[in-house]
């Protein structure tokens, strides 16, 4: 075997020393370079996974928040519609109440005006009767030529007025 190594130009002592050196270098690299790099990469991978997980949670919370916002807006719109409808109904109720009240007042005014007109009519009729009575007495005095007593005058006037 030594002959084979010498024909190939390989020094076995040097080869063993190089293998030992390679193993020492491999151990040093493993211990001080490859191990920390792997730990750093693993740490970084965990950080990235945590960031992705946090981003997913934030996305879910954002979606929930948007859903809650939509529901709140929907609820607010519904309440606004209810308030507007109640206000409309109240306005219609007030409108009808005002109309009924105005109609009642108008009827009251009409009844009052009719009563007043009737009073004025009766007053005017009484005044006219009184004046006609006076005119009849004056005409009768001129025709008859004498004055009648007050009781007879009144009876005649009332009789003649009531006939008409």
Encode pLDDT of 111-158 as tens digits.
999 999 999 999 998 888 888 877 877 777 767 655 556 677 677 777
Q: What is the pLDDT of residue 147?
A: 58
Cβ atoms of 12 and 2 closer than 8 Å: yes
Q: Helices 150-163 and 35-144, interaxial angle, to 10°? A: 120
CA distance 96 to 90: 10
Q: What is the pLDDT of residue 67?
A: 95
pLDDT confidence band for 162 (50 / 70 / 90) = confident
* Two structure tokens written together for 14: 């040097």
Closest CA to 150 of 142, 163, 140: 140
Task: Indicate whether 163 pLDDT > 70.
Answer: no
Q: What is the pLDDT of residue 97?
A: 93
Transcribe 83-148 into DSSP letters.
Answer: HHHHHHHHHHHHHHHHHHHHHHHHHHHHHHHHHHHHHHHHHHHHHHHHHHHHHHHHHHHHHH-SPP
Q: Which residue has the higher pLDDT, 8 or 1?
A: 8
Q: Which of 29-38, 75-84, 146-155 has the lowest mean pLDDT?
A: 146-155
Q: What is the pLDDT of residue 118?
A: 94
Q: What is the pLDDT of residue 72?
A: 96
């Amino acid at each position: 075997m030594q002959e084979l190594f010498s024909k190939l130009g390989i020094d076995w002592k040097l080869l063993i020393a190089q293998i030992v050196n390679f193993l020492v270098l491999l151990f040093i690299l493993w211990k001080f370079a490859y191990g920390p790099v792997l730990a750093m990469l693993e740490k970084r991978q965990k950080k990235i996974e945590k960031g992705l997980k946090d981003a997913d949670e934030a996305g879910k919370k954002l979606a929930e928040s948007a859903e809650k916002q939509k529901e709140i807006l929907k609820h607010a719109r519904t309440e606004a519609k209810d308030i507007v409808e109640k206000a409309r109904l109240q306005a219609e109720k007030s409108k009808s109440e005002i109309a009924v009240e105005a109609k009642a007042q108008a009827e009251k005014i009409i009844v009052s005006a009719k009563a007043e007109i009737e009073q004025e009519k009766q007053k005017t009729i009484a005044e006219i009767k009184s004046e006609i009575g006076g005119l009849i007495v004056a005409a009768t005095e001129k025709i008859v030529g004498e004055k009648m007593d007050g009781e007879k005058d009144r009876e005649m006037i009332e009789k003649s007025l009531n006939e008409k």
